[in-house]
Structure 1
Amino acid sequence: MTTTTRTRPRVEGEREAEIHRAVLAELIESGYDKLTFDAVAGAVRASKATLYRRWPTKSEMVIDALVATRCSEAAEVPDTGTLRGDLLELACVPGGLSEDLSALIGAIIPALHRDPELFKAFHEQFIGPKMAQALEVFERARDRGEVGPGADLEQLAKVLPALCTHEEFVFKKYLTPEDIASLVDAIVLPACRATRRDD
């Protein structure tokens, strides 16, 4: 008697990228709570079964799309020689704060504390790597003397993302690189200088 082994359909390459784009577009349009497998399947002309086999839960589908498109593991942490330059390089690249990242985060925020699985995956797979990059930038700035030796680097690293998310989530303002440069110059850099005791 021969046993037939069924393999799960693979979603990869451009097809996977197409689904990721549809997930994020639906996330911005409807928010996390109203995002459905039906809507994504309809947008990419796929069956729900195919999506469920690849992503058993909505949180897995959303986090996978977010990480794959906005958190490249291969991305190098910029080293321009100045904190200002590094922050702008980090924020104004594809997947950075000047695109729709803050809008995506804003769409997820309301669900984070109601969905433990989403909260855990969001912090481990997305926020963690982003913070690691930012902390490397601020550690180099501290070594150069742009930030005080006793400064709380984690708090400083959160300032720019928090400002950008607030602008987009509360005021629906999509930030340009020029907007981000203005926030860096007016708020982030003065906050860093305030930690230097020699000023």
Structure 2
Amino acid sequence: MTPAESAAAARPRVEGEREREILEAALDVLAEVGYDRLTMDAVASAAKASKATLYRRWETKASLVLEAVLAQKGPIGDLPDTGTLRGDLIASHCGHGGLTDERQMAVFSSMLTALTRDAEFAEGFRTQFLGPKTELTRQLFTRARDRGELRDDVDIDVIGPALAGIILHRQFVMGEQPSPETITTAVDQIILPAVLRSSPSQKDLS
């Protein structure tokens, strides 16, 4: 064991309920002031902890924020199975953790600058957060293909992120808050006509 590893091992760990409190405090600060203005001091104050306590567990701001974001997204593998691609897309993009989750969207918007300015955070976010989400979306479309819903020429890697891209563009460029109605309209009028073997009927959309 190296001296650095020995020192790390000697540090008391922040874990359990106290760890969750600090991660929640980090998300609160992140949503309030954004990534650029977030400091370890501010998180420590919000969590009623010392800055030294934070540094025992997280060496950088990027590592703290990334773990906080990962902790609030819920367990990977909660894949809706409604029996149709339409139902799966609406269920996975609406509600808690989806595009209509105001807290999640506030946190996401506060991280946009970090994705272009903080290489450590951007790399972790893309591999640990976006990567699993992209894989879940791919599974939704793959399952729809196995059911015979999709045309054979559909490129799942291209169409998979399209719904999120449409909604995020409307929010961050056009200033329109995501809603279940907007998501449903995008699914019915853009995504499904682009991928299904035949245009969805009114019965399919009920």
Place the TM-score, normalised by the shorter chain, in its bin.
0.7 to 0.9
Equivalent of residue 81 in structure 2, options 79, 85, 89: 79
Write the letter of the residue equivalent to 2:87. Answer: G
Q: Which amino acid aligns with 1:101?
A: Q
**Which position in structure 1 is the counterpart of 2:159?**
156
Aligned ranges 1:74-153 → 2 under 5 Å: 75-99=77-101, 100-153=103-156
For CA contacts below 8 A with separation 6 or more, give which structure has more relative contact order.
1
Q: In 2, Cα distance between the equivalents of 1:174 and 1:16?
A: 32
Residue 186 in 1 paired to residue 186 in 2? no
Matched position secondary structure for 2:81: coil
Partner Cα separation in structure 1 for residue 10 and residue 188 of structure 2: 54
Q: Contact 2:14–2:56 at 8 Å: present in 1 too?
A: no
Which deviates further from its counterpart, 138-147 or 63-72? Answer: 138-147
Offset of 1:82 from its aligned partner? Answer: 0.4
Structure 1 counterpart of 2:61: 58
The answer to whether the 8 A contact 1:105-1:165 is kept is: no
Which stretch shows the higher mean deviation, 165-174 or 148-157?
165-174
Instruction: Verify the 8 A CA contact 1:135 1:157 in the aligned structure 2.
Output: yes
CA contact (8 A) 1:102 1:165 kept: no
TM-score, L = length of structure 2: 0.82
* Residue pair 1:70, 1:95 contacting (<8 A) in 2 also: yes
Instruction: Provide the C-alpha distance between the structure 2 equivalents of 1:173 and 1:52, rounded to a whole number of angstroms.
Output: 38
The CA RMSD measured in Å over matched residues stands at 2.2
Instruction: Give the aligned length.
Output: 191
2:45 corresponds to which residue?
Answer: 42
Measure how far apart 1:156 and its partner are. 1.1
Matches of 2:25 and 2:52, distance apart in 1: 16
Query: Does the C-alpha gap of structure 1 residues 57 and 97 become closer, same or farther in structure 2, counting only changes over 3 Å?
Result: same
Question: How many percent identity over aligned positions?
Answer: 47
The answer to whether the Cα contact below 8 Å between 1:71 and 1:130 also exists between their aligned partners in 2 is: no
1 CA distance for matches of 2:172 and 2:20?
25
The DSSP-based 3-state class of the residue aligned with 2:136 is helix
1:86 maps to a residue whose letter is D
Q: TM-score, normalised by structure 1?
A: 0.85
CA-CA distance at 1:139 after TM superposition = 0.7
- Identify unmatched segments of 5+ residues in structure 1: none
Report the 3-state secondary structure (helix = DSSP H, G, I; strand = E; otherwise coil) of the residue aligned with 1:65: helix
State the SS of the aligned residue for 2:157. helix
* Separation in structure 2 between the aligned mates of residue 40 and residue 168 of structure 1, nearest angstrom: 27
Cα gap change, 1:101 to 1:188, in 2 (>3 Å): farther
Change (3 A) 1:20 1:168: farther
Unaligned runs of 5+ in 2: 1-6, 200-206
1:85 offset after TM fit, Å?
0.8
